[in-house]
Structure 1
């Protein structure tokens, strides 16, 4: 192949790969379960509070991360009040605990995945 054809072919291949890459990250940072999204390192967390239960969905760029053997804690700061809730594996890529939070609360999340460093993320409840 001649060098003069290499650049246009490379540009064409790059252009064809961009829509796929953009679609793979279209949901990145967007809540999928009606919760609040927070990030730490390569992990994304969606914290959902519903009917006195807390659910944390854990992903890595949209791919579920197994939470078997993981542990976590959600600290909810609302005004001068502080509540801490333990989170335990709930199957698949979820952690679960008892508790709630209201709009405007600051959420401080700590998650320990097996064999990984402690992840800490922050979010503001809507």
Structure 2
């Protein structure tokens, strides 16, 4: 009986720690949030444009000098769009991004310090 109680306590502790240790934040702009390289990225689709917000533990990260592309897989259709800095902590696509429900998107980014980051999103 002691082993069962100990096991149950361990399972509960592990389950509870997942929420405490999770790096991902809740969407602030109505998009999809993913974490990569200790940063949070939120992909937002609005008016056919895709925007990515970059934060480090809730604080905006400058996107000055960031280059990259957004690859969108929408069923059998694949499109690649360049990403450019569009504000303090935002990157935006040039051209229309078709981010339909169920689409997968991969942002391949290179920061000004030459650090490369790949972020994978699943559109809900």
- Determine the structure 2 residue equivalent to 1:11: none
Unaligned runs of 5+ in 2: 1-19
Cα deviation for residue 59 of structure 1 reads 0.7
1:60-71 equivalent positions in 2, closer than 5 A? 60-71=56-67
CA distance in 2, matches of 1:27, 1:108: 19
Structure 2 partner of 1:38: 34
Aligned counterpart, 2:72: 76
Unpaired runs of 5+ residues, structure 1, are 1-21
Residue 42 to residue 83, structure 1, CA distance change in 2 (3 Å): same
Verify: 1:117 aligned to 2:115, yes or no: yes
Give the TM-score taking structure 1 as reference length.
0.75
Q: Which residue of 2 aligns with 1:92?
A: 88
Give the conservation status (yes or no) of the 8 Å contact 2:49–2:96: yes
Q: Deviations over 1:36-74 (max 9, x none)?
A: 112111111101111111111001111110001111211
Deviations 1:77-106 (CA, angstroms, capped at 9, x unpaired): 011110111110011000011322101001
Structure 1 Cα separation of the partners of residues 24 and 36 of structure 2 = 13
| Partner Cα separation in structure 2 for residue 42 and residue 110 of structure 1 | 15
Matched positions, count: 103
Deviating beyond 3 angstroms after TM superposition, the runs of 4 or more aligned structure 1 residues are 25-28
RMSD value, Cα? 1.9
1:52 counterpart = 2:56: no
